[in-house]
Structure 1
Amino acid sequence: MSEEKNLKPSIEELKKELKRENSKKEYRTVLRNTLFVVVVVAALAVLISSFFITVLKVTGDSMTPTLETGQIVIAQNSSGFEPGELIAFYYNNKVLVKRVVGSPGDWINIDGEGNVSVNGVVLDESYTTDKSLEPTDITFPYQVPENRYFVLGDHRSASIDSRSSVVGCVTKEQLIGKVIFRVFPFDKLGGL
């Protein structure tokens, strides 16, 4: 009989075992909830980036000093753009960022010194580092075709843009969205 008594667990041992089992259940619950939250957040991030915003890394010098290589910006998915706004668009499996200068139907003219006029009004382009007509292979004045946008880089002598038939005017199918915010570097964080 004393042997049977020793085979039965003590109350302390039962409490320890119960605590261990409860800890396992609690751990599984926390793990399951954490995985659920991670999956939901990832799905929301994909949905938001697909339908509302796109995060882009700037490469090249065509938009200096406004944007520089290595900076990270956010583009808001949009289909309508105003002159002066920065837009991102697809070109030859790359993403380019340029400034909208002309909308469908506008007449664009660039004189020999690089001064741009739209519908006869000379633009005040304080954001450019150098005004330049080159590189160009189109004839000015130039009328922007329907459903397209005429875009220029801010660093004109280093930018291949709508002045060249290689890039041409941007179609609505190429558009990603309006570049609205600089995320990195942090010292230049803010709207554009």
Structure 2
Amino acid sequence: MRVVKKKERSVNIPTIEEVENEQKRLRHQAVYQRTLRGTIAVLLVVAAISVLVATLWMPVLQIYGSSMSPTLEAGQIVVSVKTNQLKTGEVVAFWQGNKLLVKRVIAGPGQWVDIDMDGNVTVDGKELTEDYLDVKALGNCDVDLPHQVEESRWFLMGDNRDVSVDSRSAAIGDVSKDQIEGKIVFRIWPLKEFGSIQ
């Protein structure tokens, strides 16, 4: 940098190299700010879309309690898909008052359900093969058996039959289509168990 004296006052005049370095710094700063604003905008859009998808089409749920053990354990996070087409054996989430519960579809509208003292379940006279259970049990059952499922409703049971409060209890009973939030299709947490729900 050259120093020029003028009337006993020194004036600093930048060199060409210093001017070029300052221009580079300003250009870099402008590019950085544009990139940062663009990245934030993209992240906000992605977050908004994720919230919309999670709310409208694929709700993400955390499992509490042990009523679906061993299939689903407390603390696991699952994804559900909104659907009106349910099949026996599928796991669904449904609203009971202000609580969201997760159970397995055992029977559909109009079907007859019976459960013996050993916990063997029959639907329309045919015994279900329930490989997903650790232990069979009659559990908390205060509905009259055999039980015919009401129209437009579903008979649901937890996989941990000893502790699950489900359609076997008059407190819940048959679950209407309007109560059903969606079908549980995927486990996303913990990562070691990442995958589809059988």
* TM superposition score normalised by structure 1: 0.90
Q: Which residue matches 2:136?
A: 131
Amino acid paired to 1:157:
D
Tell me which moved more, 42-51 or 17-26. 17-26
Higher helix share: 1
Shift of residue 83, structure 1, vs aligned partner: 0.2
Residue ranges of structure 2 left out of the alignment (5+ in a row): none
Deviation readout 1:54-97 (Å, 9 max, x if unpaired): 22221111111111112222112222110000111122322211
Aligned partner of 2:123 among 97, 108, 118: 118
Matched, 1:102 2:107: yes
Tell me which moved more, 153-162 or 7-16. 7-16
Q: Which residue matches 2:86?
A: 81
Tell me which moved more, 175-184 or 149-158. 175-184
Shift of residue 184, structure 1, vs aligned partner: 2.0
Question: Does the 8 Å contact 1:129/1:156 carry over to 2?
Answer: no
Q: Partners in 1 of 2:142 and 2:166 — Cα distance?
A: 11
Greater than 4 Å deviation, 4+ residue runs: 4-9
Matched, 1:184 2:189: yes
Tell me which moved more, 103-112 or 9-18. 9-18
Shift of residue 36, structure 1, vs aligned partner: 0.8
Q: Partners in 2 of 1:127 and 1:10 — Cα distance?
A: 78
Q: May I ask how many residue pairs the two structures share in their alignment?
A: 192
Tell me which moved more, 89-98 or 35-44. 89-98
Shift of residue 99, structure 1, vs aligned partner: 0.5
Q: Which has more radius of gyration?
A: 2
The percentage of counterpart residues that share the same residue type is: 43
Shift of residue 6, structure 1, vs aligned partner: 4.9
Aligned partner of 1:40 among 21, 45, 48: 45
RMSD: 2.0
Amino acid paired to 2:195:
G
Question: Does the 8 Å contact 1:62/1:158 carry over to 2?
Answer: yes
Q: Partners in 1 of 2:118 and 2:12 — Cα distance?
A: 100
